[in-house]
Amino acid sequence: MSDPGVLGLFPPGSSLDQDGTLMVGGCRLDAVAAEFGTPVMVVDETALRARAREYLAAFRDLWPRSDVAFASKAFPCTAIQQLMSEEGLHLDVAGGGEIVTALSAGADPARMLLHGNAKTDEELALAVSNGVGLVVVDNFDDIDRLERIVEPGRRQGCLVRVVPGVQASTHAAVATGHAGSKFGLLPADARIAIERIRRSRVLRCDGVHTHVGSQLLDAAQLAAAVEPVAELGSFDVYDFGGGLGVRYTYVDQPPSVRDYAAMMVEKARGLVPADARIIVEPGRSMTAAAACTVYRVTTVKRGERIHVAVDGGMGDNLEVSLYGQRFEATLVDRVGGGAPVTVVGRHCESGDELIDLVPLADPVVGDLLAVPVTGAYCYTMSNQYNGARRIPVVFAAEGQTRLVVRRDTWADLLARDVPASGQSG
């Protein structure tokens, strides 16, 4: 069924121009497509900055000694990391690549937290040499490696990641807090890790960390991780991770940031020392709703069902085929309404189906189609399947656009090839 509220899924402040054309960040999406081509990801910079400020205010109003660390893996491009740093957020970096992009963005390494269940010597050395503030210890091997890498006379701050034993109501691939998860240590092992770090001459145990999962629409499940972590003792830092879900579809009803903060802080009071520092690590709920992706319709095939094919797909949005995530869509110049169709991508996979049974108003070849809520993990998992060129990212604000990530060139597809030695010209 059509939903006249489709505009509500686009970044806050999105509107229709006088002729009914969809506008994001004060910019007509047809004009953005004309300038930058399609597919193109459009990020409302004003909405993104507002979200960062909303998170900081929500937690600091309730727990003054709290910090918000953007989970870079949700959108790990330098422009996003730079924006988050400008807004006063710390950065959660998962691996060496996100350290490199964060440093390139000018972020303060002392305000970074390094994650990962399989950190290499190279990544840990990169973190230590650049002064990354906190390394989240996921296993005993992390401790062994750090004790080899950190030079005598220095102290590397660490958090111990704890499995809270919370079964999250989300896709199995993004549930992380249950017993048997590949992430973190069970409480008994976490106690041993804490004591090892406390005895170390080069490491410092600043606190503990936990994470329940991603795209959780029930804040109570996130708050359930507080007690198991608090039971491990008194620390300076308690990092409760991220995981707050977002509204991808008309039926999704995630808690507000304010309600999420209230539930987390209420649970922490009495369990966590009043002078402790609380950290949360939003990723998806920080960036998802601030962006949309614009495609051009290339084919309309009418048969047993109507297939509307676009010039992108699983190369720029793996969330559908990987996690079964539902998205909505609309035509840019005919917003809302229409009969249900199946929107498919350009890739040679039957699984490259972006949205099934989404209402579109009489789509034809050449139409522009916009998919909202693509600001989390779509950029992260973009790829060159079938030789697709990864798509550009454009910031829009107050009617102005700026390119922050360019589209791949054909040369980019060949850039990593190494010619065979002795090959004749």
What is d(CA 56, CA 1) in angstroms, rounded to the nearest whole number? 37
Contacts of residue 51, defined as CB under 8 A and 6 or more positions apart, other chains included, come to: 257, 286, 287, 289, 290
407 vs 392: CA distance, rounded Å? 4
Q: Which residues sit opposite 371 in a β-bridge?
A: 293
Task: Check the CA dihedral 72-313-249-48 and report its sign.
Answer: positive
In contact, 243 and 212? CB cutoff 8 Å: yes
- Burial classification of residue 121, based on how many CB atoms lie within 10 Å of its CB (0-12 exposed, 13-18 middle, 19 or more buried): exposed
Q: Count Cβ atoms below 10 Å from residue 275 Cβ, excluding itself.
A: 8
SS3 69: strand
Structure tokens at 8: 């509500």
Determine the Cα–Cα distance for residues 181 and 136; give it in Å rounded to an integer: 16
| Residues annotated as part of the active site | 348
* Beta-bridge partners for 27: 24
Cα–Cα distance, 140 to 274 (Å, whole number): 30
Residue type for 402, please? R
Q: Please give the angle made by the CA atoms of 386, 293 and 285, to the nearest 5 degrees.
A: 115
Please state, in angstroms and rounded to a whole number, the distance separating the CA atoms of residues 264 and 221: 10
Residue length, the chain? 425
Residues 6 or more apart from 251 whose CB is under 8 A from it? Answer: none
Q: What is the DSSP letter of 289?
A: G
270 touches 230 (CB < 8 A): no
